[in-house]
């Protein structure tokens, strides 16, 4: 989850599974007193602090991007820099003609 952007359809399905697990609906139809979006609010805002997986995925990708950009001594930085941004820095890099799934 921290290395690749997962498809929104997949993340929405996982969010749905988490919500149904929390509500424990089963086959019965029950009233949900609070929406899943409300429960995903921070605890300070009255929610339970659950996280939407899409936001979590994007945050982990941003953290990984920061690591790659700032820690130049790591192997992943040297491999990516030789292929995708040999004459510029990480933030000025282009996608290129045939980028790998990791670089996209």
CA angle (63 as vertex; 92, 6 as ends), nearest 5: 90
User: Could you report the per-residue pLDDT of 48-90, keeping only the tens digit for each?
Assistant: 888 888 999 999 989 988 888 888 788 888 888 877 777 777 7
Q: Is the pLDDT of residue 9 over 90?
A: yes
Tell whether pTM > 0.75: no
pLDDT value at residue 60: 92
Average pLDDT of the chain is 81
User: Could you report the per-residue pLDDT of 31-49, keeping only the tens digit for each?
Assistant: 777 788 888 888 899 888 8
4, 18, 57, 61 from 68: Cα distances, Å: 14, 31, 17, 10
């Amino acid at each position: 989850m921290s290395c690749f952007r997962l498809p929104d359809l997949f993340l929405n399905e996982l969010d749905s599974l988490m919500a149904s697990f929390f509500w424990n609906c089963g086959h019965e139809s029950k009233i949900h007193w609070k929406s899943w979006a409300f429960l995903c609010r921070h605890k300070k805002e009255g929610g339970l602090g659950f996280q939407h997986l899409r936001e979590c995925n994007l945050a982990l990708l941003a953290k990984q991007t920061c690591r790659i950009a700032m820690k130049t001594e790591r192997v992943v930085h040297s491999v990516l820099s030789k292929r995708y941004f040999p004459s510029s820095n990480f933030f000025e890099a282009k996608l290129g003609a045939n980028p790998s799934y990791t670089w996209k």
